[in-house]
Structure 1
Amino acid sequence: MRGEERREAILSYLKRASLPVKGGELSKLYNVSRQVIVQDIALLRAEGHDIIATPQGYVLMVNNNQFIKKIIAVKHNENQIEDELRTIVSLGGRVLDVTIEHKIYGEITGKLMLRSIYDVEMFVKKLRESNAKPLSNLTEGVHIHTIEADSEKDMERITKALKEKGFLIE
């Protein structure tokens, strides 16, 4: 399969995927190395396709206006990360990203794409096992999330719960 054909096939596969797709899965599917997939994704991005790399794999972002999106500012310590994320997804929300305002570098954003309790558990597990520090450690626990929900009512429940737990900054 030529590179152009493979990239079209990758794009088609990502369009149909309901969950993030790991690079290793794509490399096996198209019988190429993981590095070739990384290059293919870079070329697809250069063509204007909104493909993001998340901890769970690649996601093709589709402009879907049926969801309610909100940017929230929160603060908590490292031990409360799982509680915060579980609160959001258990009430029907999705955590799209995390952003901090760094003194030197300005905004730093990490894509999360957490949609379920399982996603939260895997994210927290990777965080613990890697001994990596969350971005919010650079800002004394203050950070921003873009969250998404199916309805305004779901979004209200999420923000109310975060406020009750003392996480939401207003």
Structure 2
Amino acid sequence: MRGEERRESILNYLKKASSPVKGGELSKLYNVSRQVIVQDIALLRAEGHDIIATPQGYILMTNNNGYIRKIIAVKHDENQIEEELRTIVGLGGRIIDVTIEHKIYGEITGKLMLKSIYDVEMFINKLKDSNAKPLSNLTEGVHIHTIEADSEKDMERILKVLKEKGFLIE
């Protein structure tokens, strides 16, 4: 299979995927190295396809399928990360990313793509196991999330509870 054909096939595979697709899965499927897949993804992005890499795998961002999307500003300490994330997904939300405003580098965004308690647990475990510090440590706990919900009512409920817990900055 030629590169162009493979990239078109990868794009179609990602369009049909109901969950993130690992690079290793794609490399086995197309019988190429992981590095070839990384290059293919880079070329697809250069063509304008919104493909993001998450810890769970690659996701093709298409329209948000009718979800309500909101950018929220929050603040909490490192010990409250899990509570914040569990609150959002526990109320039916999805956490797309986290962004901070760094004094030197400007906006720094990390893709999260958390949509379940299991996803939150895996993220928290990776954070603990790696001894990495969250981005919000660079900004005294202040950060921004892009979140999604199925309806305005769900979004309002998420925002209400975040406000009650003192996480939401208005």
TM range (shorter): over 0.9
How far residue 64 of structure 1 moved from its aligned partner, in angstroms, is 2.8
Structure 1 residues 28-81: Cα deviation after superposition (integer angstroms, max 9, x where no partner) = 111111110000000001111110111111000011361111111111111111
Aligned with 1:98: secondary structure?
A: strand
Map 1:40-55 to 2 at 5 A: 40-55=40-55
Aligned with 1:70: secondary structure?
A: strand
Q: Which runs of 5+ in 1 are unaligned?
A: none
C-alpha separation in 2, matches of 1:44 and 1:54? 16
Aligned-pair Cα RMSD in Å: 0.9
Aligned to 2:35: 35
How far residue 124 of structure 1 moved from its aligned partner, in angstroms, is 0.8
How far residue 117 of structure 1 moved from its aligned partner, in angstroms, is 0.8
Aligned to 2:128: 128
Aligned to 2:150: 150
Aligned to 1:162: 162
TM-score by length of 1: 0.97
Runs of 4+ in 1 over 4 A off after TM superposition: none
C-alpha separation in 1, matches of 2:14 and 2:4? 15
Number of equivalences: 170
Aligned to 2:19: 19
TM-score by length of 2: 0.97
Aligned with 1:147: secondary structure?
A: strand
Aligned with 1:32: secondary structure?
A: coil
C-alpha separation in 2, matches of 1:142 and 1:48? 31
C-alpha separation in 2, matches of 1:155 and 1:64? 15
Aligned to 1:118: 118
Identity between Structure 1 and Structure 2 (%) = 88
Aligned to 1:4: 4
